[in-house]
Structure 1
Amino acid sequence: MHKNKSNTELNSKLDAVSIALKQSIKNLDSYTHVRGESLYVDDVNVRQGTLHAVVFDSRKAHGKIKSIDYSKAEALDGVERIFTYKDIPGENEIGGIIRDEPLFAENEVHFWGMPIALIIAESEFIARKARNLIEIDIQELPVITTAKQAKAKGSFINAPRSFSLGDTENTFKDCEYIYEGETFSNGQEHLYIEAQGAYAEPLENGNIKITSSTQGPTAVQKTTANVLGLAMHKIEVDVTRLGGGFGGKEDQATPWAVMAALATYHLNQSVKLILNRHDDLHMTGKRHPYESTYKIGLSKDLKILAYEAEFLQNSGAAADLSPAIAERTLFHATNSYYIPNVKTMVLSCKTNLPPNTAFRGFGGPQGMYVIESAIAKAASEIGVTSREIQEINLLDENDTFSYGQIAKKVEAKNTWDSAKSLFSSDALEHDVEEFNKNNTSFKKGIAFMPICFGISFTNTSMNHARALVHIYLDGSVGISTAAVEMGQGVNTKMMQIAAQVFSIPIEKIKIETTNTTRVANTSPSAASSTADLNGKATLMACNSLLKRLKLVASEDLNTKPEHIELKDEFIYINDKKSELSWTELISSAMLKRVALTENAHYATPEIHFDKTKEKGHPFAYHVYGTAITTVTLDCTRGTYEFDWVKIVHDYGKSMSEGIDLGQVEGALAQGIGWMTMEEIAYNDEGRLLSNALSTYKIPDIFSVPKDVEVIPVETKGHELAILKSKAVGEPPLMYGIGAYFAIQNAMMAFNPNYDLKFHAPMTPEKVLMGLHNK
């Protein structure tokens, strides 16, 4: 690992860490997960007298509230109280980036599902019964449901953003080929297994503790304090783990925690608020739908010389995280390609849908889908394969991104060439061609999907984290960080770091819950940066403790600290085992009054971005990869099966190959779902139609690829990744985009007159109509 001021003696040895240890570590939460013993918000042991909450929400997408009658609901036996905006002691505001989102509607509603009141009762059943007794009269106003409608009406969240490089206008004049088109990518429901929820309980002196299912404990703490008119230190937020998040609990877990705390504040009683699945589906935002246009220009030898795109982001009724997501769309608008002349613009369009929010990839997938569509269009018109255009335009070392960052340690061609070689891509393409020649009712399609995804929060100030590490008298270790475990195995990785630094069994290490009183002022667990930021902080804390312990050991063993090494729970001097054990060393340190607690802070170096110039170096590093996808299409029914997806992925130097492989496979399935079957549907009145698993289809065992093969690319890793192990949460989702184009290629094999469509997801219904398009 690259040496720096924060990582001292251990760094020279990190590359020699046992590969066997890395490969043997599995997600340590798996054992309790499969036994049903893992704890979530709904598993909290509630205090005596705990009350239950249900949200009363709007059943109109836009309108003025003329009257509300709560009398029948309030009279129902078991109803404690109903809270509205009038009961808020602080501000009725939960917006983060832009303060444009009330906790409760006041005089007007802006989306179907907008919270109006909170019903508190002795049981959830009573609260739901009371909700049906509330009478409300809403004067309906015009409803906007699409980004195009919003643009036509001038309805925007904020000012547009634009990135540029070179001179597209003049370059297009010199292009041999120029093509324009439109694309649409739909939203996507997070469908985390654990629905949104929180449990608030009163503590002494007016303090409140909230157990929340959130990716952002500090956001919950800060917003709750603001709504209640309290100082942040009065609010404690605790998170054990999430039953899935995918971005849907980064900002959108906040209102439910705030509501529960509001009721606790007034009633001085514990309150539990857990949304049921239907409420969760229609009250929360999704991945942003995008309606986009593009213009692409190529030279005669298929070099992309110029590219322009306008992205219309359907933000919903409030900003939420839309501005940041829009920004990341621009950052990833050219995917894994070097294009010398680029002009891209994104408009965050205000509509009457629930505020759309973070979703794995955070706007990057929407941008990458458009450039891939433009390449597919150009390839079809020119009469070549998309692969030929993709391959000739891949990023190389020292190429410039449209936002000014210079590409370093580029693995784009490495992963591409490795995939072609390892998977014999020429033979694969030949097999597809032969199959299509010999079959009429079934056709195969193949597609290549390179990815390039930047790692860091694009808001530079969010790239920091803290860790608190205790070594106890018996040699066991406790670690607190801001990392929220939500199935990605980050707890296991934090334990691995401490185990490697101290050379003790992982069983001696405990990860504490994520708690704002132990680790304060944190960034959310998002942007694929959780392991890097919190892992680096943990490494720094452990290294500081290690330095102290080596000094103690050198005194006890009458040698120099630089001769000391910890190995397998014993102290070694110049590679020779001494009689001093780990536990004895800790006892000696305590007798000498040496601090066995360390609090470390890590801030990602080098990164910066100037929004006034739209230029900078926003990412610590990029993750690369290449996927090859093959599909078999039933041309009679319009149904399809993915035969296999073969991937060469840039893990860096993986800390835990099993955990990282699981992330790749899960992200791939989620990406395929977004591109092929997960179709969000609202009617013209703004009501969610895909409001149940009977009307919203996600990938199951029958719809995922029959075979997924993932091979790590040979690479040196990156020093800004924790232990050179690159982030893996979001990048693999974009491999799923290849599924869309594999299906299109199979359709063209059946119907040469098929006119390429770029309207995702590519459902069997769309396939069937396209197959017989004349």
Structure 2
Amino acid sequence: MRKLVETEADRPFKSTGVGHSLQHESAIKHVTGRAQYIDDLPQSPQLLHVATGKSSQPYAKLTKVNLDAVRKAPGVVDVIVQQDIPGEVDVGPVYGGDPLLAGDTVIFVGQPIFAVAATSFEAAQRAVRLADIDYQPLSPVLTIDDALAAESFVLPPHQHLQGDPDQAIASAPHQIKGEIYVRGQEHFYLEGQISQAWPNEDGGIHVISSTQHPTEIQKLVAEVLDLPLHEVVAEVRRMGGGFGGKESQAAPLACMAALFAIRQQRPVRYRMPRQDDMVQTGKRHDFKNSWSAGFDDAGRLLGVDMLLAGKCGCSPDLSEGIVDRAMFHASNAYSFNSARVVGVRCKTNTVSNTAFRGFGGPKGMMAAETLMDDIARALAKDPLDVRLTNLYQPGQDMTPYGQQVTQHVLPDLMRKLADDADYRTRRASITEFNRSSQFVKKGLALTPVQFGISFTAKHLNQAGALLTIYTDGTMLISHGGTEMGQGLYTKIQQIVATAFDVPAAMVKVSSTRTDKVPNTSPTAASSGTDLNGMAALDACNQIKKRLAKFAAEHFNIADYELNYDKGYVHAGGNKLAFNEFVQLAYMNRISLAASGFYRTPKIHYDKATGSGQPFFYYANGAAAAEVSIDVLTGEYKVERIDILHDVGKSLNPAIDIGQIEGGFVQGMGWLTTEELLWDDNGHLMSNSPANYKIPTAFDVPYEFNVALYQQANQAETIHLSKAVGEPPLMLGIAVWSALRDAVASTTNYQHSPRLDTPATPERVFWALQDCAAFNRQQETP
């Protein structure tokens, strides 16, 4: 049997476990092009390709659907409509409202009416254009204002109530009102939506999908095909990005591919072209946020009354949880003291919006951060001081939904970042610069993030893992999480390697499959490592307990004398290479596999009362942003970014910093350049890379400083780490706040202009005109 190491002297042990910056497990594959995605799979001569015929109307009755020309088109093998679906028609993830194919009525532009399977991708795309369809238009609801006026909601409103906000606002020394419209965001993952399905000899189906939720794929495919769950296997090796867009919206593609595969007994691939993907799949919700608030002379909030209206689209999808999450984070890092936060879920005849990194959290935080800036301008204070005054801290640590903040990270973190970024000196310098510079103005802002970690749907806070140790000492771990580039597989690899103190190369993470680990939760809510890491560790601990008992009996020692150290096992006075010990255990018929499980403790939330403890803990961070704007055009540049982010005890500092950098840039793009626009007839205008601008390397500031805040998590998480997937996105709010700060400087910081998002140069220019009007008003006797 080959030893793990020859001798300690010849091959010194190099730890690659938890706490080390091990490179992403697929990094080399990514940069060399060897990482295999679904569209890279070899194409069987029998492979069919799918395309769908889409509605051109936002809301209409179908009066004619003639598909004769489609069926006769070259390469077409099969055409289906809703009546051809053998099982469930609706593929909504939580509530109904998402038919796989439309019935008598279409409810958004782009809704699939029929589907085609053809011998090539091109043939399928050409065929769907031949349909002859007539409509009887109905009156659509297209905007949040229309929905509010018509009381058109996908689900009832929800409320958090803390104290008596009406009385608190009325009796406060100062009152303020405000409103901001925060547009949504296109996911723009590099790999678009795609699934491939194969029928098996037993009448079942194997689906490979680019999805964040394999179990939901399994469930919905089974329901559409009218099969039991054990006849469906869903598998995911990796995604080329997800960002929430593949949590629920991957399911229709998997169901369509599986349906054709069963009908034709052939493999079927359904890949959406980029434009179809942008038109047919949901985005981050638009939100219209409005509020009134009362505060004292120090800028401390005494009461807030807030309405958050989310544009959900034509169906509920995941909007219940998304608007709830916006409500949970409407206070961000600040104590409202007394509050009413109401969330409404507006139903519109547009594509059903869905999860996006941060869920609804970023949209709620925008209300809080706008309010902080407005208070600062009203009192002629530095916005940072107003933010520090209102932070959750001992004595003011109760959220509007009744959870107490117990780990007060942000007061120290923000002051440390202010010192490290030289905020006070730069603030004075920028104020002086703005007094003397006529055409260029600078802005500076330092904003916090406090993001709750856990699924707000309690039952999703669970995970499983399957660990197998082979007789050569190598290990294979399968778990319920999916890899979308965020480094989950790498962290799981390190967690298992650390448990046995062996090199990470001894551990392989297999693709996620529903026949290995069942009933998985989606990889979302920033909880992928928290949940699956603990499940993997549970599996490790089960095997370690088993091996300790064996060693005690075999070597006649106490259980606690078994130690794992740098690739060796010490059992009493015996020292064996790890693989030798594993082989010994196998020869003595000791099981070397275990199924691990974890469920998050302590969390609860009562929807009826709008109170509870929905989060296991909070992840925190802060960003300082400096920008410059041209007051004649509204054009701007991000000059410098400083970030200090709380990840607890980092499992992998390199991956965590990469997540922080990527999340920040994505958040900056959401708030500055990425503009979702619909015309008056419900057609998406920003429907391709040509008219939707994501950030590029040119937009990233030359000076971009990122550091990790060194403090262990107080909650009992995996190695006392904290989640890092979603919270960094909201650090991008600092850029928006800095732009508003630069614009406000044209009024000597006396006026807070309205700056809806994305803060494109056009909107910055309009905000400058708002300030110019304020100045004229001030000059009028």
| TM-score bracket for this pair, using the shorter chain length | over 0.9
In 2, the alpha carbon distance for the partners of 1:269 and 1:224 equals: 16
Which of 361, 365, 368 is 1:368 aligned to? 365
CA distance in 2, matches of 1:44, 1:481: 23
Check the 8 A contact 1:104/1:116 in 2, yes or no: yes
Matching residue of 2:562: 564
CA distance in 2 between partners of 1:254 and 1:19 (Å): 37
Give how far 1:118 is off.
Answer: 0.9
What residue in structure 2 maps to residue 644 of structure 1? 640
Match of 1:538? 536
Equivalent position to 1:199, from 187, 196, 199: 196
| Cα distance in structure 2, aligned partners of 1:358 and 1:101 | 15
2: distance between equivalents of 1:62 and 1:396? 50
Q: Is this contact kept in 2: 1:373–1:758, CA < 8 A?
A: no
Contact 1:148 1:312 in 2 (8 A): no
CA deviation map 1:38-64 (0-9, x unaligned): 111112233340111111111111100
Deviation at 1:293, TM superposition (A): 0.9
C-alpha RMSD of the superposition = 1.6
State the match for 1:479 in structure 2: 477
Cα deviation, residue 710, structure 1: 1.8
Please give the alpha-carbon distance, in whole angstroms, between the structure 2 residues aligned to 1:114 and 1:771. 40
Q: 1:39 to 1:141 in 2, by over 3 A?
A: same
Contact 2:672–2:760 (8 Å) recurs in 1: yes
Is 1:594 the counterpart of 2:596 in the alignment?
Answer: no
In the TM superposition, 1:294-693 aligns within 5 A as: 294-397=291-394, 399-573=397-571, 578-693=574-689
Alpha-carbon distance in structure 1 between the residues aligned to 2:746 and 2:196: 56
Task: Give the aligned length.
Answer: 756
Instruction: Find 2:66's aligned residue among 66, 69, 72.
Output: 69
Deviation at 1:592, TM superposition (A): 1.0
Deviation, 1:603, is 0.5
For 1:767, the equivalent position in structure 2 comes to 764
Q: So what's the TM-score if we normalise by structure 2?
A: 0.95
Partner of 2:707: 711
Q: 1:58 aligns with which of 55, 61, 69?
A: 55
Aligned counterpart, 1:725: 721
Alpha-carbon distance in structure 2 between the residues aligned to 1:144 and 1:743: 33
Give the Å deviation of 1:755. Answer: 5.3
Residue 759 of structure 2: SS of its match in structure 1?
A: coil
| 2-structure distance, mates of 1:42, 1:18 | 36
Alignment correspondent of 1:10: none
Do 1:333 and 1:367's aligned partners in 2 also have CA atoms closer than 8 Å? Answer: yes
Contact 1:182 1:758 in 2 (8 A): no
Looking at structure 2, the residues matched to 216 and 654 of structure 1 have their Cα atoms a distance apart, in angstroms, of 26
Distance 1:414 1:515 in 2: 43
**Distance of 1:21 and 1:198 partners within structure 2:** 34
Q: Compare 310-319 and 629-638 and name the one that shifted more.
A: 629-638
- Give ranges in structure 1 of 5+ residues lacking alignment: 1-16
Counterpart of 2:343 in 1: which secondary structure?
strand
SS in 1 for 2:89: coil
Deviation at 1:573, TM superposition (A): 4.8
How far 1:735 sits from its partner (Å)? 0.8
Aligned residues of 1:653 and 1:716 also touching (Cα < 8 A): yes
Contact 1:717 1:725 in 2 (8 A): yes
CA contact (8 A) 1:467 1:538 kept: yes
The answer as to 2:745 corresponding to 1:749 is yes
Q: Which residue of 2 aligns with 1:22?
A: 19
Cα distance in 1 between the residues matched to 2:277 and 2:36: 20
Amino acid of the structure 1 residue aligned with 2:700: V
1:738: which partner in 2?
A: 734
State the Cα distance separating 1:440 from its structure 2 match.
2.1
Aligned equivalent of 2:46, options 49, 54, 75:
49
Deviations 1:435-491 (A, max 9, x none): 223422211100111111000000111100000000011111000001100011000
Aligned to 2:4: none
Q: Which amino acid aligns with 1:180?
A: K
Distance 1:300 1:50 in 2: 70
Determine if contact 1:414/1:713 at 8 Å carries over to the other structure: no
Q: Secondary structure at the match of 1:157?
A: strand
1:609-643 deviation line (CA, Å, top 9, x unaligned): 11111111111100111211111112233211111
Counterpart residue number, 2:273:
276
Counterpart of 2:563, as a letter, is E
Aligned residue for 1:248, secondary structure, equals: coil
Structure 2 unmatched runs, 5+: 1-13, 774-781
Q: Which amino acid aligns with 1:696?
A: Y
Provide the rounded CA distance (Å) in 2 between the counterparts of 1:651 and 1:755. Answer: 33
Task: Indicate if the aligned counterparts of 2:542 and 2:594 stay in contact, CA closer than 8 A.
Answer: yes
Instruction: Measure how far apart 1:359 and its partner are.
Output: 0.4
Consecutive aligned runs of 4 or more in structure 1 exceeding 4 Å deviation: 17-21, 751-755
Deviation at 1:556, TM superposition (A): 4.3
Partner of 1:103: 100
What displacement does 1:77 show?
2.5
Deviation sequence 1:561-584 (CA, Å, 0-9, x none): 21121112211257x7x4411111
**Displacement of 1:20 after TM fit?**
8.6
Shift of 1:130: 0.7
Cα displacement (A) at 1:173: 2.2
Amino acid at match of 1:520: P
CA deviations 1:264-296 (Å, max 9, x no partner) are: 121111110000101001111110000121111
Could you tell me which residue of structure 2 aligns to residue 11 of structure 1? none
d(CA) in 1 for partners of 2:450, 2:706: 17
Q: 1:142 and 2:139 equivalent?
A: yes
What's the counterpart of residue 4 of structure 1?
none
Amino acid paired to 2:689:
L
Of 283, 290, 296, the residue aligned with 1:286 is 283
Distance across 2 between alignment mates of 1:23 and 1:71: 61
Pick from 130, 133, 145: which aligns with 1:133? 130
Deviation of the 1:18 alpha carbon: 7.0
- Give the alignment partner of residue 186 of structure 1, picking from 159, 183, 208: 183
Tell me what 2:776 maps to: none
Would the alpha carbon gap of residues 21 and 179 (structure 1) be closer, same or farther in structure 2, given more than 3 Å must change? closer
| TM-aligned CA deviation for residue 720 of structure 1 | 3.0
1: CA distance, partners of 2:394 / 2:497 = 36
Identity of aligned residues (%): 36
Taking a change above 3 Å as real, the CA distance of residues 573 and 232 of structure 1, as seen in their structure-2 partners, is closer
